[in-house]
Amino acid sequence: MTTGAAPVAETSRPAPWVSRLAGTASLLRLAGRRDRMLVPSSVLGLVVLAVGSAQATLALYPTDAAASQGLGALLANPSVVALYGPLPSPTADALAVVKTVMMGAFLTAVLGFVVVRRHTRTEEDEGRFELLGSGVVGRWAPLVAAVALASAAVLAAGVLSGLGLAALGMDPTGSAAFAIAWLTAGLATVGVSAVVVQLASTSRGAAGLGFGFLAAAFAVRAAADSAASGTWTHALGWVSPLGWAGRVEPYGADRLWVLGMGLATLVGGVAAGVALLDRRDLGAGLLPVRVGPRRAAPALRGPLSLVVRLARGTVIGWGVGMVLGGVLIGSLLGAVADMGRDPAVRDLLEKLGGTTGAFEDVYVAAEVHVVGAAVAGMGVALVLRLVSAERTGLGELVLAAPTARARWFGAHVILPVVLSAGLMAVLGLAIGLVGPTVAPAAPGVGACVGACLAVLPAVWVVVGVATLLAGARPRLAPFAWGVLLVTFLVSEVGPLIDLPTWLLDLSPFTHPSSLPAGSFEVLPAVVLTAVAAALVALGVLAYRRRDAA
């Protein structure tokens, strides 16, 4: 008698894409916990920016008639159109958001990119992916989790801002269009970021590609908005995600369907990202890395020279940005005189730039304070590279050589302090050279450079906070971004909504002298500089006492 083998049932296996997404929910919860302060504070800052700016503008121009007459000349200026885009309609609601549509779309896009890079390429650089990959984690899970968190952050910023505008009594359809403008730019950038992090081999390289994309998108959008309607240059606005945000035209045409372009870019970008992910090795990128020389140059013999060399791209990029920003601010001085004839506008800018001096001086003082906050952000980013160097092992390699901790730590402080001073001086030089050519009453080079340098003590205080956090508790170092955001919003939005004086005084950006509109005050500059020096000293002491591994 023969016996036959019983048939064995085939074990059902999940689809390949299911196994590649294993662990996505867990990684999403982990990413959300790690960003439990970064994402909510960023979203809150964007909402306050949109709602606070709209509330202040509506207080100045409560009716459509007042809005159409108030800032018409200024908003028709080509430089203003290139910066903010055209005014969608001559209404109070459209005027209330003309600045924040493009500014907020850009910042929302930055938020989306930062979150994606932080939980993908940065995780690979710091070696955490190797640890996570040893568990039940699919190949696509980290990227999908990062995209989901970034999309949620963008969605929260857009929707809450739109609801906030509607709560002010603004047109509900226009408020929805405002939210869609931000969502379109943010979601499209998240999709592009999913591709960028596969191309670059390092977190710093991804930052260069990502911010380069955003800069190009902004430049294309600015050129398109400045061109005459119906020309091929004007049509380029449909090529840029930031151009899509402008073409929504909140409180004007209200093109809600533009959101579909952002969603399509998100889906296409994620699909391309996962396809590229399967074609590269962990820790590597698809773009080849340039091999450096076998021996370092004689100049690279110390920690400061190394830090400067690694930040070369940042230095060049910010230098170019300061020149362009100075040219833009200087070119706008030609329309400032007409704008100053409006008592409401004069009152608004005097709250931000001081109450003395010519109106051109007041305008320069107000703009310089805004740029100073941006330069403080650059300083925070450079200081936090110390923490990144610890996680990637670069700091361990440097400290293994005969290099004192104080020198390595000090190099990450000296660079932002000196660079911020140089950048503000370049900004003042550009404003001082361009301004008098378009407005005879504009301040000269000396006055503009002095106005820019007067903001430095406040910038250094924020850098000092980042230094203290990085030196004492690296895990708390990202909170420096929250400090910068809160202090900036208090100093810029606080006077417009009549915050208490004691709260305004907590912001370092409230105390610098408002030059060239006023006179230089020595005591606030000395006190702010002393506070910054004390914060740096405490950071050095804490760094020398803790484990730097």
Burial class from Cβ neighbours inside 10 Å (0-12, 13-18, 19+) for residue 498 reads exposed
Q: How far apart are CA 504 and CA 498, in angstroms?
A: 9
Task: Give the pLDDT of the chain (549 residues) as one tens digit per residue.
Answer: 444 444 444 445 555 666 777 878 888 888 888 888 888 988 988 998 888 888 878 877 777 776 666 565 566 666 677 778 888 888 888 888 888 899 899 999 999 999 999 888 888 877 777 666 666 777 788 899 999 999 999 999 999 999 999 999 899 999 999 999 999 999 999 999 999 999 888 888 888 888 889 988 988 888 888 887 778 888 888 989 999 999 999 998 899 999 999 999 999 999 999 999 888 877 777 777 776 677 767 767 788 888 888 888 888 888 988 998 888 888 877 766 666 565 655 565 555 555 555 677 778 888 888 889 889 999 998 998 888 888 777 778 887 778 888 888 999 999 999 999 999 999 999 999 988 888 888 888 888 999 999 999 999 999 999 999 998 888 888 888 888 888 887 877 766 666 677 777 888 888 888 788 777 888 989 999 999 999 999 999 998 888 765
Q: Which of 153, 195, 203, 169 is nearest to 35 (CA)?
A: 153
DSSP assignment string, 471-523: HH-GGGTTHHHHHHHHHHHHHHHGGGTT--HHHHTTSGGGSS--TTTS---HH
Q: Are residues 458 and 403 part of one domain?
A: yes
Q: Are residues 180 and 305 part of one domain?
A: no
Domain assignment of residue 81, yes or no: yes
Radius of gyration of the chain (CA): 25
Residues 6+ apart with CB under 8 A from 345: 60, 70, 71, 339
Domain assignment of residue 391, yes or no: yes
pLDDT at position 541:
92
Domain assignment of residue 493, yes or no: yes
Q: Are 206 and 115 in contact (CB under 8 A)?
A: no
Domain assignment of residue 451, yes or no: yes
Q: Are residues 259 and 307 part of one domain?
A: no
pLDDT at position 357:
58
Domain assignment of residue 9, yes or no: no
Q: Are residues 425 and 351 part of one domain?
A: yes
- Looking at 221, 253, 287, the residue that finishes a domain is 287
Q: Are residues 305 and 280 part of one domain?
A: no
Domain assignment of residue 12, yes or no: no
Q: Are 88 and 252 in contact (CB under 8 A)?
A: yes
DSSP assigned state of 2? -
- Scan for tokens 């403008």, then name that residue: 181
Domain assignment of residue 14, yes or no: no
Residues 6+ apart with CB under 8 A from 111: 39, 42, 43, 46, 150, 153, 154, 157, 186
Q: Are residues 341 and 220 part of one domain?
A: no
Residues 6+ apart with CB under 8 A from 186: 105, 108, 109, 111, 112, 154, 157, 158, 262
Q: Are residues 125 and 91 part of one domain?
A: yes
pLDDT at position 30:
86
Q: Are residues 232 and 317 part of one domain?
A: no
- Looking at 261, 287, 313, the residue that finishes a domain is 287
Query: Which tokens belong to 154?
Result: 């963008």
Residues recorded for the chain: 549
Query: Which tokens belong to 496?
Result: 């417009």
Give per-residue burial for 441-463: e unless 16+ CB within 10 Å, then b. Answer: ebbeeebbbbbbbbbbbbbbbbb
Q: How far apart are CA 369 and CA 459, in angstroms?
A: 10
Could you write out the three-class secondary structure of 172-186?
HHHHHHHHHHHHHHH
Structural domains in the chain (count): 2
Q: Are residues 337 and 310 part of one domain?
A: yes
pLDDT at position 463:
94
pLDDT at position 496:
63
Q: Which of 316, 355, 322 is nearest to 432 (CA)?
A: 322
Q: How far apart are CA 262 and CA 275, in angstroms?
A: 20
- Looking at 252, 287, 322, the residue that finishes a domain is 287
Q: Are residues 175 and 31 part of one domain?
A: yes
The CA–CA distances, whole Å, from 341 to 154, 333, 443 equal 39, 14, 19
pLDDT at position 6:
45
Q: Are residues 348 and 260 part of one domain?
A: no
The CA–CA distances, whole Å, from 215 to 189, 208, 272 equal 12, 10, 22
Strands, E assignment, 362-471: none
Domain assignment of residue 10, yes or no: no
Domain hosting residue 436, numbered range? 299-549
Q: Are residues 94 and 36 part of one domain?
A: yes
